[in-house]
């Protein structure tokens, strides 16, 4: 036991980047209502427009005016898109919604809501690595398809989808395309212009900015209905007094994420690969979840069959290592991660899964520390487990 904390849960959320924090402290007094006509109001508004431009730049949109609105976060952005589909699809023959089985719950549940409202909704399956099947997409896409919503990268296993191909197929049928880029932005290049998507969701607290602020990119000319009605803020697409501090923090976080992207990617993938190779070397009978190459540079999801995820998480926690798990017990439900199950992983492997998501404060020393602490924990839990090593080996035979 010591006082060391190794935070490896950056896909859950990130700390503030010190420069974002500094920027926000400087802007604490930008209090004026950005809708006010007076000088202070105009100053606040101008700062917000600077932030909008910076967030736009992160996703390849150089003129974010009219195309990027600020929201309270990823969930609101995603819900705004699905609520829009409700408005334009409810009296139309074009009302089919296609999404994937591995989306974040806010997309899954918004899609299920439309399903309950009578919209035909199709959840695309994924392969063992978390990739969608383009043959399946082609077979369900037709002239009645209203929206195709596919996440750019998955939060649990990090698998990256080929969104350009999704757009190409969907556009051939005249469908709208949305991508939830919450986990991808700031970790890999995302260019909404080059991709040609109609909507893209962003969240600030995943890129070292404050919580409670997100954005929705809406391509010029693509339909949008406000989820929150009221004043004329955000071009009438999202009412509510401007969250000055959140927006300004977002702008600065986005600027830094863009500036640091290459350094971030090479540093993260080096650390993640070291962690992955080390675990493969030091812990017998494991399974790496997700795609080997089309994967977020910071994400590593591993199943340790024979040991249960919540137990692993809590033993790691006592060693100061902060991670997350796809086990049912940790979620409070009886089912393990919907993402891992969708990849065809058996429940016994999903219950024993741990997600390591690395970030800017992790060092090689941290990885060495984890590689030191983790193996005896797995060995200990396995030694008190009813599951025998030969059963584990057999289970793994089935997935490899």
Partner 1 sequence: METNSSWIYTDKVKEHFLNPKNVLKDGEDFQADGEGITGNVKCGDEMLFLLKIRDDIIQDVRWKTYGCASAIASTSALSELIKGMHIRDAYQIKPDDVVKALGGLPENKIHCSVLGDKALRVAIDNYLEKTGRKGLYKDLGARIICTCLNITDHDIEEAVKQGAHDWEKLQEHTKIGTVCGKCRKEAEELLHTYVHIFGES
Question: Per CB under 8 A, does 397 bind partner 1?
Answer: no
Question: Per CB under 8 A, does 182 bind partner 1?
Answer: no
Residues in Cβ contact with 362 at an 8 Å cutoff, skipping those fewer than 6 apart: 6, 7, 8, 271
Least Å from the CB of residue 140 to partner 1: 30
Residue placing its CB nearer to partner 1 in the complex, 120 or 346: 346
Residue placing its CB nearer to partner 1 in the complex, 8 or 55: 8
Least Å from the CB of residue 129 to partner 1: 22
Residue placing its CB nearer to partner 1 in the complex, 160 or 321: 321
On the CB side of 28, CA atoms within 13 Å amount to 4
Q: Which of residues 369-388 bind partner 1 (CB under 8 A)?
A: 383-387
Least Å from the CB of residue 327 to partner 1: 7
Residue placing its CB nearer to partner 1 in the complex, 301 or 395: 395
Q: Which of 334, 390, 397, 400 binds partner 1 (CB under 8 A)?
A: 334
Q: Which of 348, 369, 396, 399 binds partner 1 (CB under 8 A)?
A: 348
Contact 240, 228 (CB under 8 A): yes
Q: Which of residues 242-261 bind partner 1 (CB under 8 A)?
A: none
Residues in Cβ contact with 22 at an 8 Å cutoff, skipping those fewer than 6 apart: none
From the number of C-beta atoms within 10 Å of its C-beta (0-12, 13-18, 19+), residue 250 rates as buried
- Strand ranges inside the chain, DSSP E: 6-7, 68-71, 96-100, 121-124, 145-149, 176-180, 199-203, 214-218, 287-289, 299-303, 321-322, 324-325, 353-357
Contact 133, 164 (CB under 8 A): no
Residue placing its CB nearer to partner 1 in the complex, 277 or 335: 335
Residue placing its CB nearer to partner 1 in the complex, 37 or 384: 384
Least Å from the CB of residue 337 to partner 1: 12
Q: How far is residue 148's CA from residue 26's CA, in Å, rounded to a whole number?
A: 41
- Maximum distance among all Cα pairs of the chain, rounded to whole angstroms: 74
Residue placing its CB nearer to partner 1 in the complex, 49 or 310: 310
Q: Which of 32, 330, 345, 358 binds partner 1 (CB under 8 A)?
A: 330
Q: Catalytic one among 329, 341, 396, 399? A: 329
Least Å from the CB of residue 388 to partner 1: 10
CA distances from 106 to 156, 246, 360, 372 (A): 14, 21, 27, 37
**Interface characters, 128-167, with partner 1 (x: CB under 8 A):** ----------------------------------------
Q: Which of 8, 283, 328, 377 binds partner 1 (CB under 8 A)?
A: 328
**Interface characters, 295-324, with partner 1 (x: CB under 8 A):** -----------xxxxxx--x---xxx----
Q: How far is residue 243's CA from residue 247's CA, in Å, rounded to a whole number?
A: 6
Query: Among the residues of the chain, which ranges form H helices?
Result: 18-26, 39-58, 74-89, 105-116, 134-140, 163-172, 192-195, 244-282, 309-318, 328-331, 338-342, 347-350, 364-383, 389-399
Least Å from the CB of residue 118 to partner 1: 29
Helices 105-116, 74-89: inter-axial angle, 10-degree rounding: 20
Q: How far is residue 336's CA from residue 328's CA, in Å, rounded to a whole number?
A: 4
Least Å from the CB of residue 348 to partner 1: 5
Question: Per CB under 8 A, does 187 bind partner 1?
Answer: no
106 is a catalytic site residue? no
Q: How far is residue 186's CA from residue 203's CA, in Å, rounded to a whole number?
A: 10
CA distances from 81 to 76, 114, 168 (A): 9, 12, 20
Least Å from the CB of residue 14 to partner 1: 20
Question: Per CB under 8 A, does 347 bind partner 1?
Answer: yes
Question: Per CB under 8 A, does 327 bind partner 1?
Answer: yes
Supply the DSSP symbol for 288. E
Neighbours of 318 (CB within 10 A): 11
Total site size for partner 1, rule CB under 8 A:
30
Active site members? 329
- The residues that touch partner 1, with contacts defined as CB under 8 A, are 1-4, 306-311, 314, 318-320, 327-330, 332, 334, 336, 346-348, 351, 383-387
């Amino acid at each position: 036991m010591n006082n060391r904390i190794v935070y490896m849960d950056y896909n859950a959320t990130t700390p503030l980047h010190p420069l974002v924090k500094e920027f926000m402290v400087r802007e604490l007094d930008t209090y004026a209502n950005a809708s006010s006509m007076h000088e202070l109001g105009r100053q606040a508004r101008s700062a917000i427009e600077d932030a909008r431009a910076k967030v736009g730049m992160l996703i390849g949109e150089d003129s974010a005016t009219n195309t990027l609105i600020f929201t309270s976060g990823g969930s609101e952005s995603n819900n705004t898109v699905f609520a829009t589909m409700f408005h334009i699809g409810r009296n139309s023959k074009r009302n089919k919604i296609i999404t994937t089985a591995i989306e974040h719950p806010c997309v899954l549940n918004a899609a299920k809501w439309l399903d309950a409202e009578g919209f035909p909704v199709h959840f695309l399956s994924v392969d063992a690595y978390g990739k969608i099947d383009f043959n399946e997409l082609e077979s369900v896409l037709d002239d009645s398809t209203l929206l195709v919503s596919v996440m750019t990268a998955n939060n649990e296993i990090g698998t990256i989808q080929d969104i350009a191909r999704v757009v190409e197929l969907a556009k051939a049928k005249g469908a709208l395309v949305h991508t939830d880029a919450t986990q991808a932005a700031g970790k890999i290049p995302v260019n909404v212009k080059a991709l040609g998507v109609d909507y893209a969701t962003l969240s600030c607290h995943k890129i070292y900015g404050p919580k409670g602020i997100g954005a929705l990119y809406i391509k010029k000319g693509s339909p949008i209905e406000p989820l929150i009605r009221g004043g004329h803020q955000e071009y009438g697409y999202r009412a509510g007094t401007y969250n000055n501090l959140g927006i300004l923090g977002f702008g600065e976080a986005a600027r830094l994420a863009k500036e640091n992207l290459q350094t971030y990617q090479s540093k993260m993938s080096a650390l993640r690969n070291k962690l992955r190779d080390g675990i493969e070397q030091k812990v017998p009978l494991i399974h790496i979840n997700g795609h080997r190459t089309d994967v977020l540079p910071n994400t590593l999801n591993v199943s340790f069959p024979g040991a249960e995820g919540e137990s692993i998480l809590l033993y790691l926690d006592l060693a100061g290592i902060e991670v997350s798990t796809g086990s049912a017990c940790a979620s409070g439900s009886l089912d393990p991660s919907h993402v891992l199950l969708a990849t065809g992983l058996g429940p016994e492997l999903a219950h024993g899964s741990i997600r390591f998501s690395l970030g800017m404060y992790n060092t090689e020393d941290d990885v060495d520390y984890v590689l030191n602490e983790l193996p005896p924990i797995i060995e200990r839990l396995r030694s008190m487990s009813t599951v025998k090593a030969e059963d584990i080996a057999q289970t793994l035979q089935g997935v490899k």
